[in-house]
Copies of this chain bind each other. A is one copy, B any other.
Amino acid sequence: MMLKELRDEVYEANMDLPKHGLVVFTWGNASGVDRERGLFVIKPSGVSYDELTPQNLVVVDFDGNKVEGELNPSSDTATHAVLYKTWEDIGGVVHTHSSNAVSWAQAGRSIPCYGTTHADYFYGDVPCMRGLTAGEIREAYELNTGKVILEGFEGVDHIAHPGCLVRNHGPFSWGKDAAAAVYHAVVIEEVAKMALHTEQLAHASGRAIDDCLAPQYLLDKHYMRKHGPNAYYGQGK
């Protein structure tokens, strides 16, 4: 069986989704890539987390063709594949239907950066992609979901914004590996919840929601102290 270590990592990442309360039933999936082989490991479709094992994960290439595994890969495989194919610097992808993130996606709104919790991981908003057209859905729904994400990130740094919402659908996130993509999925859900409540509090006191935006220099500071060349958060390398 191929890619034993990667299977273990992707298994752990998938199991972390229900542990963090991001997933009900089978409504989510995580994958991780092996760049040398040009393959990635992903959750099988519709399999419950109770039945998931490192062994029943599926290995797929960057065109979404199954390379190893008895089960069908996640129905979202083509979305993961095109992201890996295009963004060579990502190692993991996650998709969930976490409640607060979906609510923003359903409202068709990007999540504004209202504070440092958000700024520690996203250097600006969590962008909401446009919905797919009827033609795009008919032609190749999951592949085109990935393409709509790529289109929305033209001119946007996908490392500094490690996730997004797809309109009327839900959040996608990514990172250097599957665990990092899960981490960013948790961040999106948390900041989605906080931003909803922030707007309600602004509203209740007659304040404009734009007055709640974190100033650019606070974004700079928080993102840079974690991710910049002189980052000093954590224990370094």
Residues of chain A touching chain B, judged by Cβ–Cβ distance below 8 Å, are 24-25, 27, 44-47, 71-72, 75, 97, 99-100, 102-109, 114-117, 131-132, 134, 137-138, 141, 168-170, 183, 186, 190, 193-205, 207, 209, 211-212, 214-215, 217-218, 221, 225, 232-236
Docked complex Cα distance between A201 and B203 (Å): 11
Q: How many copies does the complex hold?
A: 4
- A117: contacting residue among B170, B205, B209, B218, CB under 8 A: B170
* Chain B residues whose C-beta falls within 8 Å of the C-beta of A109 in the assembled complex: 201, 205, 207
**Do A103 and B134 touch across chains, with their CB atoms under 8 A apart?**
no
**Least CB separation from A76: chain B residue:** B233
A225 CB, min distance to chain B CBs, angstroms: 7
Kindly provide the distance from the CB of A72 to the nearest chain B CB, expressed in whole angstroms: 6
CB distance from A164 to the nearest CB of B (A): 15
* Least distance between A197 CB and chain B CB atoms (Å): 4
For the complex of A and B, 7 pairs with smallest distance between CB atoms:
A46-B234, A103-B197, A107-B201, A106-B114, A199-B204, A134-B217, A106-B198
Give, as a whole number of angstroms, the nearest-CB distance from A111 to chain B: 9
Given contacts A103-B198, A194-B102, contact A168 B204 (CB under 8 A): no
CA distance A145 to B65 in the complex (A): 50
Q: Given that A99-B194, A131-B218, A201-B196 are contacting pairs, would A116 and B168 also be in contact in the complex, using a CB cutoff of 8 Å?
A: yes
Contact residues in B for A138 (Cβ distance below 8 Å):
217, 221
